[in-house]
Amino acid sequence: MCGIVGYTGHRQAAPILLDSLSRLEYRGYDSAGLAVRNGTALAEVVKATGKLYHLADKTDQGRALAGCCGIGHTRWATHGDPSVVNAHPHVSGNCSGSGSGTVESDVAGVHNGIIENYTELKEKLLRHGYTFYSDTDTEVAVKLVDYYYKKYKIGPVDAITRCMVRIRGSYALALMFKDYPDEIFAARKDSPLIIGVDEKESYLASDVPAILKYTRQVHYIGNLQVARVAPGKVTFFDLNGDEVSVPLTEITWDAEAAEKGGYEHFMLKEIHEQPQAVRDTLNSLVKDGQIDLTETGLTDEMIREIGQIDIVACGSAWHVGMAAQYVIEDLAGIPVRVELASEFRYRNIPIDRKTLVIIISQSGETADSLAALRVAKERGAATLAIVNVIGSTIAREADHVLYTMAGPEIAVATTKAYSAQLVAADILAIHMAGIREKMTADQVREMLGELATLPDKMRRVLEEKERLQWFSSKMANTHDIFFIGRGLDYAISLEGSLKMKEISYIHSEAYAAGELKHGTISLIENNTLVIGVLTQKELYEKTVSNMMECKSRGAYLLGITTNGNFSVEDSVNFTVYIPKTDQHFMASLAVIPLQLLGYYTSVNRGLDVDKPRNLAKSVTVE
């Protein structure tokens, strides 16, 4: 959600902080701010509401703020309205008006997360003479640190650990202390935070793209750990204040992968990167024609012992789970249940040691998915994470990890991460089917051969983008869209509907086609757009029949089907054809026209494709 950045070194901090914040805009925000130290007792704080360029204008692109140590923040409002006074950074001293300007304060800080007991802590601080200028839980955290720092006359690390014991909720904190002018102190619990180092410089960020331009060497600070960040040096501590070791990880992403590369939007770039993301993920899991999952730690014996699989995820990752359910059950014969992470964590779902819980998350930091993972482990289930970010919290805490190779994904609406997760789930299904002798070795090789053709077939689908661009211009003012399909096509429809609604703001819903007559068909009227996904041979005629029921009530029909099914043109108004492949893998191809349709519709409506309203890339709070 919120974005945190920090820098300490020998260069002017503010321009670096602004540049880093610009690379976190995809996370979603309503205001932004900077606090910079110039080696004096005072901190210069500047805040602005709205887009980041307002903050840049206020600071002359950062040039107006002197100092080589600073922190920055893009805020997603949780406690308190979006306003300058509620924007971060917050300070421990009293602050009038906007909270900007030169501030004489012992502590300044930024925060990502939600402090659940902030009201209780605020009441405690009020009794000790503190006053508050904002409505945020962050100001409470900063002043609580200040309270312990002064009361016990202890150092920043000890003051922060005392706060961590008292705070309930999630947080990533970056703090500057008046008495430590060239250092930043950080702490985290359940919210993402990384620390990058170079020879004489150090960086903090909520996500890798923010600092990829400056360093590839990063530490993933552990849960309930504190970091003391000095120029070119980082020291880590546990809750007891004892020094601990945190390994250094080298980021292998190409820095250009986090740039638009000539495309108008990140989303369009990432749609076109899907063939490569799928190819890279396949190459990481299939070696010399054989599936190799040794790095996951899943043994053949473990796979044979699986009695049930629970797939737990949110949003598009949940749609991957829905598709994977059909493929795993059909190929491997293992019962699969797909659960929303936000529901799983609060239900008493029967699981045991023969249950494999698969957590799917692009960022590896999704709050509900992380909580679900911990619940599954507490109940004795084995856990497997399918994630895209090496060293993320979910990756570290799961028993087994399967990494996708999508690279950095910047647009809020996921595309290439979805496709990489999908092919990873397909590989897992084939591997399980082979180990459990539901498929012969020859069948496994045949399936792998078909998967290997997907990247080229995906490129062929992308060649249809002009037709979809034209069609989207004709339906950009549509008010309602229904996506329908049966079986795996229903799972594809779910993702297509989400892509449409989240970036075009058009009301859309996905339904299992056979359920239309059980109420939903009453919503069909003249020119309602109905998009039918028709890739499953055995279900093709039934879905066409459902579409004709809509057409007879005035609906306008778009059909997505495979090459050769030309008879569909007799029934629908507009047809999109995709190459043939094994029916289990059709989602990898059929989803691309739906992504493009959502993208071009958003563009035609003049909307912010990469940063849709009210949404964030990584949902790190409940």
Q: What gap in Å lies between CA 393 and CA 193, rounded to an integer?
A: 10
Angle (CA) 402 406 410, round 5°: 125
Which among 205, 195, 323 has a CA at the least distance from the CA of 247?
195
Q: How long is the chain?
A: 622
Residue-wise over 298-336: b if at least 16 C-beta within 10 A, else e? beeebbeebebbbbbbbbbbbbbbbbbbbbbebbbebeb
Helix, strand, coil content of the chain in percent (nearest 5): 40, 25, 35
The torsion region of residue 48 among left (phi > 0), alpha (psi -120 to 50) and beta comes to beta
Question: Is there a contact between 529 and 510 (Cβ–Cβ < 8 Å)?
Answer: no
Query: How far is Cα 622 from Cα 369, in angstroms, rounded to an integer?
Result: 10
Residue 231 CB neighbour total at 10 angstroms: 18
Amino acid at 474: K
Question: What DSSP character marks residue 155?
Answer: -
Q: Is 438 a catalytic residue?
A: no
Query: DSSP readout, 429-461?
Result: HHHHHHHTTSS-HHHHHHHHHHHHTHHHHHHHH
Dihedral of CA atoms 117, 120, 123, 127 in degrees, nearest 10, equals: -120
User: Nearest 5°: CA angle at 193, between 188 and 199?
Assistant: 120
Q: Which residue do the tokens 């980021």 mark?
A: 251
Burial class (CB in 10 A: 0-12, 13-18, 19+), 497: buried
Which strands sit side by side in the sheet containing 243-244, from one edge to the other? Answer: 90-91, 107-115, 169-177, 184-189, 225-230, 233-237, 243-244
Q: Return phi, psi of residue 526, to 5°.
A: -55, 130
Contact criterion met (CB below 8 Å) for 3 and 57: no
- Cα(140)–Cα(409) distance, rounded to whole angstroms? 33
User: What phi and psi values does residue 244 have, to the nearest 5 degrees?
Assistant: -130, 160
Whether the upstream peptide bond of residue 156 has omega within 30° of 0, thus cis, is no
Q: What is the DSSP letter of 200?
A: S
Q: Which listed residue (122, 189, 611, 617) is catalytic?
A: 617
Catalytic: which of 2, 68, 163, 314? 2
Q: What is the C-alpha separation between 407 and 458, in angstroms, rounded? A: 18
> Do residues 529 and 480 touch, judged by C-beta distance below 8 A?
yes
Question: Is 2 considered catalytic here?
Answer: yes
Q: How far apart are the first and last CA of the chain?
A: 11
Provide the annotated active-site residues: 2, 617
